[in-house]
Amino acid sequence: MLKLLAYALLCSQVLASPVSPRWSSDQCQSSPLRSLAQANIQSVHPENEMKWEVIEPQRGVFNWTEVTWQVPALAEPRFPRSQPLQVIAKAKEVGGIVRGHNFCWDQQTPTYVTNITDPDELKTVLKEHIDAVLGRYKNDLYAMDIINEPLNDNGTIKASVWYDVLGEDYLAVCLQYARDAAPNLKLYINDYNIEAVNNKSIALASIVSGLKDQGVPIDGVGFESHFVGGEVPTTLQASMKQFTDMGLDVAITELDVRVPVNNSGLPTLPGYRFKPMIMRRLSKPVLTTVIAQEKPALGSISSTLASGFNCGNGDRK
């Protein structure tokens, strides 16, 4: 069954802790968000804290204490910045599991990595990083987005230090290093705009098929699932089937649904009732309000996922 992530449950695009960025750490100890999280969250996903620039800002210098949830600065000073909360510890506190994120990406990679032009040196730095991170956390993670957002929307591989120096082989290299470092970890490639059968999802399916043919370890594909209300792709199930037919898992990793609003900032879809202030904040694509009340969509999504989602191979993922 697809896991309903903290990303979809709380008032932020932060996959890290059973709290909302609109509450301080002290407030969250007794806030309704805590019981809401305990009742609904199954999987916890750090948004930034395991990304390379955060966890190893200098070569060989690791910032382990930052595997935490940290609220980004908000425009409104009345919403205080939360204190760091350890992701793994908080996940265990609510009986959840942790999904890691990520190693190879075209963003948030420090310059000591992006300035490398020698393939052997880049592989060495990559292996050192993966060995260190998974050596510490492999027993705390059930899965990890090993490679994040590798493709352009037209299906070509994005320019990055990984592709520019190592070519397409970087995908296999990174996945193999991860398998060697953590044999029991589920290894994923994660991307957006693959929720429909389109150039990007077809290209990713072809790449993944090639990797499997080569014996490269890969266990699943992450569908980020950034949707607009009323515009969810009609071929979502068929797109997932491209991967489940290969024996892979699929996961909805960063689910949000943006709600269309009118010129007054009010939602144009039924079932959504927010204060205009909330709507002015870009129509928050999440399932609880600022005062931790469930939106109608939360129950619908939870019940749908609880009953299973058949991707076409007879199994519920």
Which residues are annotated as catalytic? 254
Strands 68-69 and 85-86, sheet pairing: antiparallel
E strands, the chain, in order:
43-44, 68-69, 85-86, 97-104, 143-148, 186-191, 220-223, 226-228, 249-252, 256-258
> Between vectors from CA 147 to CA 1 and to CA 53, what angle results, nearest 5°?
120
Residue whose C-alpha is closest to residue 102's, from 167, 54, 42:
54
Phi, psi of 249 (to 5 degrees): -80, 155
Please give the radius of gyration of the chain, using alpha carbons only, rounded to the nearest integer.
Answer: 20
Cβ partners under 8 Å of residue 209, min gap 6: 246
Between CA 47 and CA 166 the distance in angstroms is: 26
Reported as half-sphere exposure (CB side, CA atoms, 13 A), residue 59 has a value of: 13
Residue whose C-alpha is closest to residue 186's, from 278, 250, 117:
250
